[in-house]
Structure 1
Amino acid sequence: MQAPNGVLWQGELDGGVQVALTIFPRAGTERVEGTARYDSMLAAAPRQLDGQLTAQRRLSLRERDDVQAPAEYPEPRAGARFEGTVSADGLSATGQWMSIDGTRRQTLTLTRKAVYRERTVKVAGARLTERFPETGRPRLDALIASLRDSGCGEGEHECRSGIELMRLDGGAVSLLRTTWRYNGGAHGSLDFVGGTWRRDTAESASAASAAPARSVYTPVRLADLLQPGEACLQKLNDELQVELKRQGAAEPERGALDVQALRDTRTPFTLYRGGLVMHYAPYAVGPFAQGAYQVAVPFARLGSCARPAATGRDKSPETNEKEQT
């Protein structure tokens, strides 16, 4: 089994705001780095984190203010930091979540929801490096496995694939796979693949059974999030293109979706509790030099075109029951 390479922590701040921290160690040091996501806040662009995890299990994290592009944050927001202690079993961390200057603070308990593993293998002469989360829940880990790369593409010398848990709560799980591919050209290419499932509970077939209800995951497509019809597809495309223009994409019109993209379960979108995020790879809406784009579309902006019942967004946070195998 591959050694753990990182951890996904989740907790809830005052007002029911979920915070998700994905933390990776820097090899050979006590330093760590990663990202912070806050529910609907900053959904398309997570805050970057730096910090330290000591041998005494002291965890210190700080948002990296100097790299937050203003264009990605139309609403001003102060940075934050965390000071706490990881439990002896490594399954939780408790401490203070506070403003950078320490004037505003609250107690925050984080629960470990997944570990990240990494491996490098040779497949058909190409070097594949992949990083993926593992939750210890068989059905959920099977969804993650369904997005893992089995190898590089034809003619590729090297590829690096990473799967990130973008949303994990009682209503849904949303994954994004990012793959860098190199075939000997001037630079590699980057592509995104998404996967989102609604989490339901299936009752035992026998009413007298004492077995717990089990989780059932149903694929969610963009078509499941929109009311049918050309008008609602156009509404979504209008929101996407307005935001792409605001972010400076050279060809925002290329970000428009068609009916096929709505029906494809691997279209690169992910969910947060307030809406959806579309992920555009380099070249998708402009030249390679402009890089990738992420566009958040709140469900509220879609109005009557949104179908919230398909998202499971009213079921949070994630429950801690074990899956029935």
Structure 2
Amino acid sequence: MRPLAILLVLGLVGCSTADAPAGPSTPPPAPETAMPSTVAERPSVTPTTVETDSITVDDPARRLVVDIAVPVVSSAYAGTDRVNERLYETANAGWTEMAPLEPLAADASEWERYEFSGGYEVELADGPLVSVVLALYAYTGGAHGNTSFAPQTFDLETGRALGLEDMIQTTPAALGALRDAVESALVTEMASRYGDTEAQAREMLWLGDLTASTETFDGRMTLGADSLQVHFAPYAVAPYAAGTFRIPVAYADLDGHLGPVAARLTDR
């Protein structure tokens, strides 16, 4: 079936019988055009989109306030419902693990309160692939709160959560190339933020913790359209005051080292 005809049929299926627009019993013929040669160029009949739900709580007895945006994926792929369950479970677990279960004592310190806010950023929503990073700011008393990240990448066809090995090969050479690229970008970013030289930036960063290992990168990466995104929360590679870091590493800079899913993104 030609692309225009596919879109017309889908549009009619989406309408109820009462709401369907009047028109000819058969669609007009589509112009004779060549079918696009690659999957990436073909018209998408099952677009993947991401909308927003929320988790909100206001419980004065526990001095608890929660306001978290949760991504909700919409697509025709079979694993979409499972993916949305996983996204909600992850966002919900981020604050429930730290919140008090019972009302606070009447003489509890004024500093003892629990405030959680969060959102997300869509890094990729392309056909059966969706990659988002959940961010949570948590205050549970003390001088300041802290931010944490939960990168989430899924195959919507199966509902499977993709792991580090899908994005980057876990060989010493591949992890070393990734580490070197991330270190260079961190130094450049730190120097840019504070107007320092790269030598001074290196002194402020905790680069000794940035090793070429699966432990360093597992649970920190998302897929982008043309790059891996590596996410560092406060304290991960620098003092709290330095803030968070989102480091892109172009697929082209990791040629020959990418995992199978990331490698397919470069073939489009």
The TM-score, its normalising length taken from structure 2, stands at 0.61
Partner of 2:89: 146
Q: For residues 163 and 143 of structure 1, what CA distance do their matches in structure 2 show?
A: 14
SS of equivalent residue, structure 1 residue 305: coil
Aligned position for 2:238: 286
Whole-angstrom distance in 2 between the partners of 1:164 and 1:141: 15
Q: Kindly indicate whether the alpha-carbon contact (under 8 Å) linking 2:170 and 2:214 is maintained by their aligned counterparts in 1.
A: no
**Is residue 228–residue 249 contact of structure 2 (8 Å, CA) maintained in 1?**
yes
- How do 1:99-114 and structure 2 match up within 5 A? 113-114=49-50
In structure 2, distance between residues paired with 1:280 and 1:190: 10
Q: Check conservation: 2:167, 2:258, Cα contact below 8 A.
A: yes
Partner of 1:307: 259
Paired with 1:315 and 1:144, the residues of 2 have a C-alpha distance of 28
1:121 aligns with 2:61: no
Tell me, yes or no, if structure 1 residue 188 matches structure 2 residue 131. no
Check the 8 A contact 2:169/2:258 in 1, yes or no. Answer: yes
Where in structure 2 are there 5+ consecutive unaligned residues? Answer: 1-46, 76-80, 101-112, 191-200
- Structure 1 residue aligned with 2:181: 239
**Match for residue 131 of structure 1?**
69
Range with greater deviation from structure 2 (125-134 or 136-145): 136-145
- Aligned-residue sequence identity (percent) comes to 25
For the pair shown, the structure with the greater C-alpha radius of gyration is: 2
Shift of residue 182, structure 1, vs aligned partner: 0.8
Q: 1:216 to 1:292 in 2, by over 3 A?
A: same
Which is further off, 135-144 or 241-250? 135-144
Aligned-pair Cα RMSD in Å: 2.8
- Which has more strand, going by share of residues? 1
3-state SS of the aligned residue for 1:132? strand
**Which one-letter code corresponds to 2:222 in the other structure?**
T
Does residue 1:260 correspond to 2:215, yes or no? yes
Paired residue total: 188
Structure 2: how far apart are the matches of 1:171 and 1:163? 19
- Of residues 218, 223, 241, the one that matches 1:271 is 223
The superposition leaves residues 23-80 of structure 1 with CA deviations (integer Å, 9 ceiling, x where unpaired) of: xxxxxxxxxxxxxxxxxxxxxxxxxxxxxxxxxxxxxxxxxxxxxxxxxxxxxxxxxx
Specify the alignment match of 1:95 in structure 2.
none
Q: Would the alpha carbon gap of residues 300 and 252 (structure 1) be closer, same or farther in structure 2, given more than 3 Å must change?
A: farther
1:189 Cα offset (Å): 0.7
Q: Partner of 1:243: helix, strand, or coil?
A: helix
Aligned partner (choices 153, 157, 166) of residue 114 of structure 2: 157
| Contact 1:171–1:314 (8 Å) recurs in 2 | no
In structure 1, the gaps of 5 or more residues are 1-110, 200-214, 317-325
Provide the secondary structure at the position in 2 that maps to 1:233. Answer: helix
Question: Offset of 1:258 from its aligned partner?
Answer: 2.4
Cα contact 2:83–2:154 (8 A) shared by 1: no
Name the aligned partner's letter for residue 91 of structure 2.
R
Distance 1:301 1:315, change over 3 A: closer
Residues 312 and 174 of structure 1: is their aligned pair in 2 closer, same or farther, counting only changes over 3 Å? farther
Deviations 1:211-246 (A, max 9, x none): xxxx22332222222234212211110111010011
- 1:136 to partner: Cα distance: 4.4
**What amino acid maps onto 2:239 in structure 1?**
P
The code of the aligned residue for 2:248 comes to A
Matched, 1:177 2:134: yes
TM-score, normalised by the number of residues in structure 1: 0.51
Looking at structure 1, the residues matched to 53 and 161 of structure 2 have their Cα atoms a distance apart, in angstroms, of 24
Contact 1:152 1:159 in 2 (8 A): no
Structure 1 residue 218 corresponds to structure 2 residue 154: no
**Distance change >3 Å, CA 252–CA 296, structure 1 → 2:** farther
Query: Matches of residues 196-207 of structure 1 in structure 2 within 5 Å?
Result: 196-199=153-156
Structure ranking higher in helix proportion: 2
